[in-house]
Amino acid sequence: MLYAQGYKYSFSEGKFQRTGAIALKVNTGAKVFLDDEAQGDTSFFSSSYSIDRLLPGNYKLSIQKDGYSFWQKKVNVEEGLVVDFSKILILPEEGKEEQKLFNEVDVLFKELEQINNISSPPEIAPFILDSKTNKLHQDNGQQLEEIAGNVKGFRLSENENKIAWWTANELWIMWLKDTSYQPFYKKGDKELITRFLISIQNGAWFRGEDHVVLELEQKDSHGRQYSIYRIIEIDKRGGINIVEL
């Protein structure tokens, strides 16, 4: 009866505990591992997978596919709750598919520059970036409210649910609407996503509203500058996955 109600005996605790679960969805078919043990493959049609009847505690969840980037999180499972990762993105790291990915990112930045004529638009209603003070403001209908300082550029997400901005070395996100999926955020929440040791030159939303691609400045052994790209998930639960291009 206890098992049918979602309970499982914990030998470490010496008692029955209500279990939790992990649910996930990947952008492509892949293998699922929990604490380095293979669990199975994502479903053929939806690339989703669920792991049920997990005792409360911390687990290492990873998604793997040959020739693709590695995705991993530390997951805290709680009694009676499902931890959901519905926006997992793994990307090709070799062959023709990797070259297609490079081309996709390159075209994305070129299109943005053509649309705006510059890499970081100073104004996208209701947001304004003051080029003199490098302060990002939001027009709330009555006055300009300062959102952030030292801002080099910003982008609104496609459905205007989020805004991303970057300083010389930091990527930030602010949620403009309440989220309807995990991790849950409220309108107005702000979060520092990650920092880099090298300078951020440009940014864009990548394949939706849950990943950002950044163009960063790198130098070779002769001091010559060139660009590199990083695709960053904005879900910080259990660590951030960054794909290097």
| Range scoring the smallest mean pLDDT among 88-102, 119-133, 142-156, 159-173 | 119-133
For the cut 90, the answer to whether the pLDDT of residue 188 exceeds it is: yes
Superfamily of chain region 7-88? Immunoglobulins (2.60.40.10)
For the cut 90, the answer to whether the pLDDT of residue 117 exceeds it is: no
For the cut 80, the answer to whether the pLDDT of residue 111 exceeds it is: yes
- Domain ranges for the chain, please list them: 7-88, 95-244
Q: Tens digit of pLDDT for each residue in 13-49?
A: 777 788 999 999 999 999 999 999 999 999 988 999 9
pLDDT at 119: 44
Residues with Cβ within 8 Å of residue 114, at least 6 apart in sequence: none
For the cut 90, the answer to whether the pLDDT of residue 121 exceeds it is: no
Q: Looking at the chain, how many residues does it have? A: 245
* Paired residues of 135 in beta bridges: 130
| Range scoring the smallest mean pLDDT among 6-10, 18-22, 57-61, 111-115 | 6-10
Dist CA 240 CA 233 (whole Å): 6
